Structure 1
Amino acid sequence: MKSIFLVLASVLYLHAAYANNAAPLADDPVTEQRLISISEEMRCLVCQNESLAGSRSDLANDLRREIRTLIKEGKSDEQIRAFMVERYGDFVLYRPPVKPITWLLWIGPFVILAIGIAFLMFYLRRRNTMAATKVLSEADNQKIDALLNTLGKNDRDGIHG
């Protein structure tokens, strides 16, 4: 029992020793609030489905540090966004502006969906026209009726297959 306790205690100690320290907050709460506001509108370039504010990647930490520095230099929110877009492209924004270079980001998913639906309709129509329809002869119909009658008789007699 003591050995299990010692192993657990050592694991917890090592885990705490290697844990990342929390990101330092700005000296000014207003600066930190601006940082959060700006970074929530930006995409983490590593995670891509997480905001810069919510990501814990090393790159996100570096970008937040860069934004904090720009805020302390007195840059406006728009100047900071422009700096990030200039450096990393429109993809860094969660809502990139609609312009010719970003049309693929805005329209691309709908184009792919339309192509998929058109392909599916083409495939289904082609499959239906290729399916051979077989006309049964009178002898085949009589055999099927006989089998169905036999099955119906077995069900009435209490015999189950």
Structure 2
Amino acid sequence: MTVQKTWAFALALVLIGAVATLPEPVLAVQPDEVLADPALESRARELSKDLRCLVCRNENIDESNADLARDLRVLVRERLVVGDSNDEVIDFVVERYGEYVLLRPTTTGANWMLWAAGPLMLLLALGVATGYMRGRGRASTVGEQDLSREEQARLNKILDE
């Protein structure tokens, strides 16, 4: 192996080792929020991963220290203790706070337009660009006509001077 390949291989091993030892995200769950039943607590953690902190925007409620996130964590755990299923808990929170609380919004209802808007706009832009390029290729070349005899003679006279 060459020296460069050896160094590249060593660097790759170091980077793989660094990535493998990354710490888990620090959770903001307080000890007084944790449920005594490990099964319910596990369900609460799974549900919390999909719920957005409305203050922090793109953090789930388990990772956020905001007061509203704490209230949502407590609400999720209260609903689980009452006996709600995971879907019932999510439905309750969405009904109360709106669909924005979901980190992964649904593709039903009016949301399908939001999901489809990006790819549709890309296709529209590609169509417009293709039409423009084709039209540009077929455009008449008015400026590239041959010079008349008088114009050619005048140009030659100017260039000779």
TM-score for the superposition, normalised by structure 1 = 0.54
The aligned length equals 122
Q: Does 1:23 align with 2:29?
A: yes
**Corresponding residue number in structure 1 for 2:73:** 64
Aligned residue identity for 2:29: A
Q: Cα distance, 1:92 vs. partner?
A: 2.7
2:87 to 78, 81, 91: 78
State how far apart, in whole Å, the 1-side matches of 2:61 and 2:143 are.
59
State how far apart, in whole Å, the 1-side matches of 2:76 and 2:69 are.
10
Are 2:58 and 2:103, in contact at CA under 8 Å, matched by a contact in 1?
Answer: no
Q: Deviations over 1:20-52 (max 9, x none)?
A: xx5313142433322110011223334443333
Q: Cα distance, 1:133 vs. partner?
A: 5.1
Are 2:29 and 2:63, in contact at CA under 8 Å, matched by a contact in 1?
Answer: no
1:99/1:24 CA distance change after superposition, 3 Å:
same
Where does structure 1 lack aligned partners over 5 or more consecutive residues? 1-21, 141-161
1:91 to 100, 111, 117: 100
1:105 to 101, 110, 114: 114
Q: Deviations over 1:34-88 (max 9, x none)?
A: 2110011223334443333333443322211211222222222111011012123
State how far apart, in whole Å, the 1-side matches of 2:83 and 2:40 are.
10
1:105/1:94 CA distance change after superposition, 3 Å:
farther
1:119/1:44 CA distance change after superposition, 3 Å:
farther
Q: Cα distance, 1:125 vs. partner?
A: 4.8
Flag the structure with larger Rg: 1
Aligned CA RMSD, in angstroms, stands at 3.6
1:35 to 19, 37, 44: 44
State how far apart, in whole Å, the 1-side matches of 2:124 and 2:113 are.
15
1:43/1:72 CA distance change after superposition, 3 Å:
same
Identity %: 34
Where does structure 2 lack aligned partners over 5 or more consecutive residues? 1-27, 156-161
TM-score for the superposition, normalised by structure 2 = 0.54
Structure with the bigger RCO (C-alpha within 8 Å, sep 6+) is 2
